[in-house]
Amino acid sequence: MGQKTNFSFEVCYPAQSDRGETERREVMGNLRPALMRLLAADDSAATVAVSDSHRGDASKLVELTTTLSDAQIAGVLQAFTSRHGVSVTALE
């Protein structure tokens, strides 16, 4: 098993998002299980923690613990952002 790495980032809908309020709530409400499903294909032991952001309902803080590489995580996040119209910002 590879070394685990922690990744922290913010997921949010851009202010100019064309997604409806219901869709935004659904995506944000299911953020953890959706990311877990995407990660499970390559790392069944990955963990995802989601918490509220100070920026409101259209923004969540996410912490991943995984053995996946930076490039693999980037691929997962790119697929997720393309599908749901959210943006992802890495946190320090």
pLDDT digits (tens, 9 = 90+) for 8-52: 999 998 766 666 778 888 888 999 999 999 999 899 999 999 998
73 confidence band (pLDDT: 50, 70, 90): very high
Q: Is the separation of the CB atoms in 79 and 39 below 8 Å? A: no
Rounded distance between C-alpha atoms, residue 5 and residue 87, angstroms: 21
Q: Which has the closest alpha carbon to 13: 4, 21, 5?
A: 21
Q: What is the H or E stretch that residue 9 is in? A: strand 5-12
The pLDDT score that the predictor gives to residue 55 is 79
Superfamily of domain 5-90: Reverse transcriptase/Diguanylate cyclase domain (3.30.70.270)
Whether the model clears a pTM of 0.75, i.e. scores above it, the answer is yes
| Residue 1 scores a pLDDT above 60 | no
| CA R_g for the chain | 13
